[in-house]
Amino acid sequence: MTLRASLRDSATKQLLAPKAFYFFWFTALGSFMPFITLHYRNIGLDLAQIGVLLALGGILQFVSPAWGLLADALRLRRLLLPVAVTGAVVPAVLLGVMTDFWAIFALVVTMGLFFAPVGPLADSATLAALGNAREHYGSQRVWGAVGWGIGTVVVGWVVQHLGLGVIFWVYPLAGALAALAALTMPRAELVTVNVAQAARRLLRDRRWAQFLGSAMLIGWGAALVHGFFSLYMEDLGAGGAQIGLAHTIASLSELPVMALSAFALRRWGARRLMMTAGFVYAIRMLLYLAASSPEWALFIQLLHGLCFASLWTAGVVEAQRLAPPGLEATAQSLFGMATFGVAVALANAVGGVIYRDYGYGALFATAALIAALGAIGLAHGKEE
């Protein structure tokens, strides 16, 4: 075996751990996230209370940069990831037997505190393993789409036949496998850096303000729909199997986008890819507004790949590009906080009230407008 072939084989083995992590972690999420709002409704919570619980996930993303700074400053990225995953899934076992709103609130807070840094820590470790080939991030992250699809379709079918209680066991079990995969994630190269100085440099960079603001708006529009999509499908007359199928279709639509993301990033750049995501999100939401049956909604789900996969893949790569050396986990945490923190908190805090008082038509129209504004914000920036 030549030296070049040996290095290529070593790099391939090194990237097996990120693939396994994304697969199991998103299998866990796919078995839980699409169905938890249905559980909340079944135990008697109203839409405003459900909105508060969904908003907690976004609010608690504000702790993510603290986790990122800790990981960067102490070089604990690989150690903190399995700890965070474990803390995010174990409380779910208790969540399934609680009916009191405030008890559920406390458990969701606990889960959210640990859930917040999982994505940024995993993405930072994966990008570190890729080195200068960061445009191939999508080739690793695509396994998350595969896992999400498997989780939603299998658990959707099981929920239809056995009830929603199954999600509180599948989620922790799949999460445990993700934690094991996280233990084998590649070590990042150690970079000596003045964390305080690098943080000041990052926060003073005007490119970050524009990037994070636009990402937040697109994420806000998207979250208005994603948080209440299962309830919307149920109101259209869909059952558990159709709801699971809708999320599976969405996951499958991510596969070609992520598979071609390296080409798209080289050809058009991360900023243009994020703009595309924002505008397609707006179109998708307007189509939901006009849908008259679950079957139409299933067809519209095919646009999910151009929306979420483009936004996330391009955003992660752009955050890594803008990050000062040695502050990569913090940069990913800031992107995650803007897109799934501030955005989700704002969206779900008001989304339940909009849905309850004005219906899903008003929800989708608001979401479309906000996502389009985020895309327009990116149009005024420069791609380097």
Candidate ranges 99-108, 246-255, 330-339; pick with highest mean pLDDT: 99-108
Query: What is the arithmetic mean of pLDDT over 311-320?
Result: 86
Q: What is the CATH number of domain 16-379?
A: 1.20.1250.20
Enumerate the domain spans of the chain: 16-379
Q: What is the pLDDT of residue 9?
A: 46
Nearest CA to 273 out of 221, 333, 313 is that of 313
More confident residue, 165 or 381: 165
Contact 364, 288 (CB under 8 A): yes
Query: What is the arithmetic mean of pLDDT over 78-103?
Result: 88
Q: What is the pLDDT of residue 188?
A: 57
More confident residue, 54 or 211: 211
Percent of the chain with pLDDT over 70: 86
How far is it, in rounded angstroms, from Cα 253 to Cα 251? 5
Q: What is the pLDDT of residue 381?
A: 54
Query: What is the arithmetic mean of pLDDT over 32-53?
Result: 86
Query: Is pTM beyond 0.85 here?
Result: no
Q: What is the pLDDT of residue 336?
A: 79
Nearest CA to 315 out of 264, 271, 359 is that of 271
More confident residue, 168 or 354: 168
Interval 255-268: pLDDT, tens: 888 888 888 888 88
Q: What is the pLDDT of residue 3?
A: 38
How far is it, in rounded angstroms, from Cα 284 to Cα 225? 10
How far is it, in rounded angstroms, from Cα 149 to Cα 27? 7
